[in-house]
Amino acid sequence: MPINIKADFMPESVLLTDEDRVLLMKVSNLLEEIVETCNILEDKETMASIKQSEKDAKAGRVRDYDEFLAELKQSGEI
């Protein structure tokens, strides 16, 4: 259902349709993702951790998910 927005300076009403609102939400979500990505890229500690993780994965220093869960359970963390 469209929303009518009227103002003194606007000769006609402007409609904001459901499609417009959906598009605005998508743009808003995308902008939030971009800001979060920029924050991560600016965080030197986080970027160093990501780079180290990539090196570990390439070198085979990884474990599968089930093994990881077992370790967490054994340590009492979950």
Burial class (CB in 10 A: 0-12, 13-18, 19+), 19: exposed
pTM exceeding the 0.85 threshold for the entire prediction: no
Q: pLDDT higher for 6 or 77?
A: 77
Instruction: With cut-offs at 50, 70 and 90, classify the pLDDT of residue 15.
Output: confident
- Arithmetic mean of pLDDT over the chain: 89
Q: What percent of the chain is modeled with pLDDT above 70?
A: 82
Domain edges within the chain: 3-75
Instruction: With cut-offs at 50, 70 and 90, classify the pLDDT of residue 69.
Output: very high
Helix locations, 1-78, DSSP H: 18-42, 44-58, 65-75
